[in-house]
Amino acid sequence: MILSKKVFFIMLLVFSTLAYAADPMYDYFDSIMYSQGVFRIRAWVDYGRAASYIDSTFAFHFTTVPAEQEDMASYPNDGKYTKIKVPLSVTYAITDYLDAGLLGQFVSRSLEDSISTTSSSGIGDTWIYTRFGLSKDPVFNIRLAGKIPTGSWKDIAEGKEEGLEIGDGQMDLELALNGTFPAYPERVKSDQFEFKFKHWSFEYLIGLRYRMKRTWTYEQSGQPAMDCEWQPPMEIPFCFREKINVACNTYFWFLGFNGNLGMTDNEVTMGSTTTTSKINNIMFHTGLEIRAGEGFYINAMYQGTIGGQNTPYEWHVLGGGLGIIF
């Protein structure tokens, strides 16, 4: 069975939904467990842009990218991919060792290539989570999270509307380990700005994400309807970084690595045709965090592709946000 270009394009959209490495559950995470009754509100913006895809052969940035036109993730290979995320999270400390929260997001996506320009925007998928604090020095927490498919996808996937999917259309469940070693120091009071390294902390967040199946029916004009199925891979999302207290426990510089490692194949079935692939991505990130007083902080961060497999080749992501603690 030979699929039309439009069907190939739709399958590409499924891959590109997976391939955006900047994960709001792993970007601006905080290891600190706050005191009972404390609210933490955090909002930020991520702007990501990519120029091409890495196909089925794992490749590192600054190496030659194989150009296999038959590879689903390489079609079309001249596209400009842009994605903007505006997440908002609210966390409440139920006790000193237990908190719970909600993360929602606004998403805007566009794809420009030699065939057409397509874009969509709207409310994305929603995450709910809870953390159990097991140790405060060093900090060690266990996080349980679930994704609710609140983003739009069905009409586009079924061919009823033009555009790009905003949500994944399926649920995820996740177990993650989160911590900091050594723990953050007590706030240093100083009237003089001292630009020198005073303290460092290693932060980590690593999870196991189970992704549920999605089914739909695609109806292309003039052709019989096709039953479709998407089984995303089980993933290991991660973020490791060094956080350096540059001055007075107020200015922090951080750098590290983040991404997703696919444990199983990504599998898309449309009619009688099934396509499987491995999806992996690794990114470098660096940024600055400024804590103003005890209840307000701002962040800025850059992320760039190091390597991957069936993922955008040159993701450059700029982000920034603020947090309020009360």
Q: How confident is the model at residue 306 (pLDDT cuts 50, 70, 90)?
A: confident
pLDDT of 195 reads 40
Q: What is the mean pLDDT of the chain?
A: 79
Largest CA distance in the chain: 74
Residue with tokens 């060093």: 138
**224-234 pLDDT, tens digit each:** 888 999 999 99
Spatial distance between the Cα atoms of 164 and 170, rounded to a whole number of angstroms: 16
Question: How far from 290 is each of 98, 253, 297, CA to CA, in Å?
Answer: 26, 9, 5
pLDDT of 12 reads 47
Q: Cβ distance 14 to 268 under 8 Å? A: yes
Question: How far from 46 is each of 14, 84, 106, 113, 166, CA to CA, in Å?
Answer: 20, 6, 11, 22, 15
Pick the range with the lowest mean pLDDT from 190-194, 199-203, 269-273, 278-282: 190-194
CATH numbers and ranges of domains, the chain: 5-325 (2.40.128.130)
Q: Cβ distance 324 to 29 under 8 Å? A: no
Spatial distance between the Cα atoms of 239 and 259, rounded to a whole number of angstroms: 7
pTM of the model: 0.84
- At 138 the three-state DSSP class reads coil
**113-149 pLDDT, tens digit each:** 767 788 889 999 999 999 999 998 888 999 999 999 9
pLDDT of 161 reads 81
Nearest to 235, CA basis, from 142, 157, 309: 309
Residue with tokens 């177990």: 175
